[in-house]
């Protein structure tokens, strides 16, 4: 049994669609929780004018009845309210008037290579699908994956650790789920109040200078059992799947697990997590430098992953480019944009991590109904003596 997630739709088209396969029957899904994550994706200081237009909500069109999953594919629809302003330009069917083409690719975006790959003369055919607007559909699907994980005792959270040149101080470990209760109250979803204020100021300063900013976010997962993923085949290694899922998010250029890149500069004695055992706790570790993953498998410690986001390529003062129709020098396309979306990207990161982990649980424990999944999970915990 596996979980599949597929999205369809364009940034300014009629709407976005997400289809999730592999959910067991009988799983309780809350409309409020589903749309809570949709709203969280729109949070963050530095968002642009489109967030004033779109008030995202996911509508279920298949696979759920009276709040419970039916075991078949689940279809979610997210309407684009801005489509009313783009109906002629983005109509699925031919329109009476000629629509001007876009010929100005942006450095750092999919525009130019996409036109080459798909033999388009109009950059809009690329940018509409490549847009990070697509992540609204992923977050909708990720909320279903979170519902499954939550039913199995797993919690997924995130926070921002850096925006531009402003980095939050390291947090004392262990950092438990209670530390994230109010993270969405920060305008940049940062746990440190002083760093949060500095990040806001930095965004404002760079926005006035016509610049965009990237940064780093971290996703943490609590309640995982040991043994998700596998070492026996490269494609089953959980760390590889998580890194791939994070790097699939628009503008993400790197991913780390646990202490990540910092491990490269340490000796082995300060890079690994020593193993202990007690009758009360079973096997445990007093550190978590590995981020809850060893040999491609979960260890049972909190999962810690982070992702590096580049500055957004759409700038209010465009970079130099080339008109693909005339090959003459030109300024890149100037389109409505955000100046910083790291806080929102962290919510998308939660969704993608939740998707990978939901799939890992389904592969390991199977089950047509959620009760079957719980029974298989309980039997596994009993076999390995896992009591957390």
Question: Would you say 240 and 234 are in contact if contact means Cβ atoms under 8 Å apart?
Answer: yes
Under CATH, which architecture does the 4-384 domain have?
4-Layer Sandwich (3.60)
Q: What is the pLDDT of residues 237-293, one digit of tens each?
A: 999 999 999 999 999 999 999 999 999 999 999 999 999 999 888 899 999 999 999
What was the pLDDT predicted at 43?
Answer: 84
Least confident of 307-311, 332-336, 337-341, 378-382: 332-336
The mean of the pLDDT values for the chain is 95
**For the chain, the helix, strand and coil percentages under 3-state DSSP, each to the nearest 5:** 35, 20, 40
Q: Which residues contact 19 (CB under 8 A, 6 or more apart)?
A: 4, 5, 6, 7, 73, 74, 75, 76, 141
Q: Look at residue 83 and tell me whether its pLDDT is greater than 60.
A: yes
Contacts 24+ apart (CB under 8 A), 50-58: 50/82, 50/336, 50/338, 51/338, 53/81, 53/82, 54/80, 54/81, 54/82, 54/136, 55/81, 56/136, 58/18, 58/34, 58/140, 58/143
Q: Look at residue 50 and tell me whether its pLDDT is greater than 90.
A: no
Residue reference for tokens 């996911």? 58
Once rounded to an integer, what is the mean pLDDT over residues 119-138? Answer: 97
Q: Look at residue 100 and tell me whether its pLDDT is greater than 80.
A: yes
pLDDT-based confidence at 388, cuts 50/70/90? confident
CA–CA gap between residue 343 and residue 214 (Å, rounded):
10
Q: Look at residue 60 and tell me whether its pLDDT is greater than 60.
A: yes
* Helical pair 135-151 and 370-384, crossing angle rounded to 10 deg: 60
What was the pLDDT predicted at 47?
Answer: 61
Once rounded to an integer, what is the mean pLDDT over residues 68-94? Answer: 96
Return the percentage of the chain with pLDDT > 90, whole number. 90
What is the phi/psi pair of residue 119, to 5°?
60, 45
What was the pLDDT predicted at 54?
Answer: 60
Q: What is the pLDDT of residues 313-368, one digit of tens each?
A: 988 899 999 999 999 999 998 876 789 999 999 999 999 999 999 999 999 999 99
What was the pLDDT predicted at 349?
Answer: 98
Least confident of 46-50, 131-135, 220-224: 46-50
Which residues sit opposite 282 in a β-bridge?
A: 278
Question: Would you say 28 and 147 are in contact if contact means Cβ atoms under 8 Å apart?
Answer: yes
Q: What is the pLDDT of residues 161-185, one digit of tens each?
A: 999 999 999 888 888 999 999 999 9
In Å, how far are 133, 211, 229, 245, 273 from 289, measured between CA atoms?
Answer: 34, 35, 19, 21, 6
Return the percentage of the chain with pLDDT > 70, whole number. 98
With the C-alpha atoms ordered 307, 313, 315, 318, is the resulting torsion angle positive or negative?
positive
Exposure string over 302-341, b if 16+ CB within 10 A, otherwise e: bbbbbbbbebbbbbeebeebeebeeeeebebbebebbbbb
Domain residue ranges of the chain, discontinuous segments joined by +: 4-384
What was the pLDDT predicted at 53?
Answer: 57
What was the pLDDT predicted at 121?
Answer: 97
- At residue 204, the 3 state secondary structure works out as helix
Task: Evaluate the omega torsion of the peptide bond into residue 71 and state whether it is cis, within 30 degrees of 0.
Answer: no
CA–CA gap between residue 91 and residue 374 (Å, rounded):
46
Q: Look at residue 229 and tell me whether its pLDDT is greater than 80.
A: yes
- At residue 8, the 3 state secondary structure works out as strand
What was the pLDDT predicted at 334?
Answer: 82
372 or 175, higher pLDDT: 372
């Amino acid at each position: 049994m596996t979980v599949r997630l597929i999205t369809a739709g364009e940034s300014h088209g009629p709407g976005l669609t997400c289809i999730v396969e592999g959910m067991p029957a009988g799983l309780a899904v809350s409309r409020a929780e589903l749309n809570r994550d949709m709203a969280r994706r729109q949070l963050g200081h530095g968002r642009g004018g489109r967030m004033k237009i779109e008030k995202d909500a996911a509508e279920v069109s298949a696979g759920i009845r009276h709040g419970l999953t039916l075991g078949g594919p689940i279809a979610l629809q997210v309407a684009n309210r801005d489509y009313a302003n783009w109906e002629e330009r983005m109509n699925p069917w031919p329109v009476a008037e000629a629509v001007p083409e876009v010929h100005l690719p942006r450095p750092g975006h999919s525009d130019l290579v996409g036109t080459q790959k798909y033999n388009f003369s109009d950059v809009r055919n690329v940018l509409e699908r490549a847009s990070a607007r697509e992540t609204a559909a992923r977050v909708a699907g990720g909320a279903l994956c979170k519902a499954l994980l939550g039913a199995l005792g797993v919690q997924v959270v995130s926070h921002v650790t850096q925006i531009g040149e402003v980095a939050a101080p390291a947090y004392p470990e262990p950092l438990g789920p209670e530390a994230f209760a109010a993270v969405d109250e920060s305008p940049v979803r940062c746990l440190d109040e002083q760093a949060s204020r500095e990040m806001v100021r930095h965004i404002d300063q760079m926005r006035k200078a016509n610049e965009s900013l990237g940064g780093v976010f971290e996703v943490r997962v609590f309640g995982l059992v040991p043994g998700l993923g596998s070492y026996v085949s490269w494609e089953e290694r959980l760390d590889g799947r998580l890194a791939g899922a994070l790097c699939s998010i628009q503008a993400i250029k790197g991913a780390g697990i646990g202490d990540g890149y910092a491990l490269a500069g340490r000796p082995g004695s300060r890079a690994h997590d020593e193993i202990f055992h007690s009758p009360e706790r079973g096997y445990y570790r007093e550190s978590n430098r590995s981020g809850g993953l060893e040999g491609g498998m979960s260890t049972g410690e909190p999962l810690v992953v982070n992702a590096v986001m580049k500055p957004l390529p759409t700038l209010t003062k465009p970079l130099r480019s080339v008109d693909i129709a005339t090959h003459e020098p030109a300024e890149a396309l100037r389109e409505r944009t955000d100046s910083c979306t790291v806080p929102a990207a962290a919510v998308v990161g939660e969704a993608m991590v939740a998707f990978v982990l939901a799939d890992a649980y389904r592969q390991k424990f199977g089950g047509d109904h959620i009760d079957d999944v719980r029974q298989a999970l309980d039997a596994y915990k009993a076999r390995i003596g896992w009591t957390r």
